[in-house]
Amino acid sequence: MIRRSLPARVWRWARIYLVALLLVGGLALSFARTLANDIGPRPQHPPPGYVLARARAQLQWSPGNRDGEIRVQVSTDPGFGELFVDEVPKRSVRELGELEPGATYYWRLVQGDHVSDVARFQVSPTAVRFR
């Protein structure tokens, strides 16, 4: 009978169960963040890098589970120096019309001192304007 050393047995066990332990740990962390009201708003549509064929867009986002109003900010400047839209909508959807063909728009959500990731979309240079 071959006897293995304790470190070799521990390493073998860790290799076998490491992925499962990491997945369970990630799930536990996600649970804890949700219970602690730590999920902020996140942009969902249009997805990053999307190119619109029309000069209109519908922004959609997940509100998260934090309390407080969510402000939508849209700009053609990635630094948000000049805002195209800066308002608090009643729902988690915002319609944008009369977008400039060929332009890139950046948008984010602000809730209190939390700023979401910046999402961007482009309007095709050949975008169709429907009235």
pTM for the predicted model, two decimal places: 0.72
Please give the pLDDT value at position 33: 78
- Split into its structural domains, the chain has a count of 2
Q: Are residues 28 and 49 in the same domain?
A: no
Whether 69 and 12 share a structural domain: no
Domain coverage including residue 46? 42-128
2: which 2 tokens?
């071959």
- What b/e string do you get for 76-95 counting C-beta neighbours within 10 Å, with b at 16 or more? eeeebeeebeeeeeeebebe
pLDDT in the model for residue 10: 85
pLDDT at position 111:
92
Instruction: Kindly state whether residues 59 and 122 are assigned to the same domain.
Output: yes
Q: Which residues of the chain have pLDDT under 70?
A: 1-3, 129-131
Four-point Cα dihedral 76, 80, 84, 85, nearest 10: 130
Q: How high is the pLDDT of residue 108?
A: 94
Q: What CATH number is given to the structural domain containing 123?
A: 2.60.40.10
DSSP SS3 for 118: coil
pLDDT digits (tens, 9 = 90+) for 66-98: 888 999 999 999 999 999 899 999 999 999 988
Per the prediction, the chain carries an average pLDDT of: 87
Among 80, 125, 82, CA closest to 107: 80
Asked if residue 68 and residue 90 are part of one domain, the reply reads yes
